Amino acid sequence: MPLADGNPPSADAQGPPGEAGGTVTRVSRAAAVKQGYTTGARTLASRSVTGLARTRVTPNALTASGVLLCGAASILVLFENRHELTFYWLAAVVFVAGSVLDILDGALARAGGKTTPFGAFLDSTTDRVSEGFMLTALAFVLARHHHPVFVAVAVSAVAGSFLVPYTRAKAEALGLRGDVGIGSRAERVAVITAGLVLAPWGVLPWALVVLSATAWATVVQRVLHVRKQLMEANRSE
């Protein structure tokens, strides 16, 4: 297909036959799936807080409750040496509850017209605190069981998880999109929860491997996406 200026693309630009189309299709499908469950979760959250919006409960109260629950979940993890199944599963339930409140605080703010710049700042900050609590607890447990390699993986997961929202914030500060990638907060919560539930069967260290890999892949995706936007902007000038 010719370009807008009438000149056909070069062979280098096209790449190997079928490769570009296949890659775009895979990326588009993944993006469509992610957009689908993200939209569904937000719709469900908005419906859930309809009644709550008429009360005196504030979004910041939900944010604080969420981070406290995630902190409590990280403490429960530390007692896994007393009874793995009980404390890992309790930690998973409490962690999910705290993460759900993190979803509902934004929905409540939008539904009740209570959105504020400080609320958005607080929400983003406490997200990092919640993840930091849990990943630190998991690193401690792995150190207690003498798994130094996986302790390093947990530290890598912390760094990657913190850089994912940082790259988005920096992109948006430049007026660009930075919300691409496969490892946003929802996916990280899902991976951590799965790791906790399956921890008694030795899955937890490998869940952290997945978490670290997807977080860093997302960071790279966002860096490349920002670079692409800036290059396109320079060409159009």
Active site residue 123: no
- Which helix (H) or strand (E) segment holds residue 28: the answer is helix 19-48
Nearest residue to 211 (alpha-carbon basis) of 113, 116, 138, 120: 138
* Exposure string over 133-147, b if 16+ CB within 10 A, otherwise e: bbbebbbebbeeeeb
Selected catalytic residue, list 12, 105, 127, 179? 127
State the Cα–Cα distance between residues 65 and 40, nearest whole angstrom: 23
Token pair for 208: 């952290």
Cα–Cα distance, 96 to 73 (Å, whole number): 9
Query: Letter for the amino acid at 156?
Result: S
Q: Are 160 and 219 in contact (CB under 8 A)?
A: yes
Residue 182 tokens, joined = 């496969």
Write out the catalytic residue numbers.
127
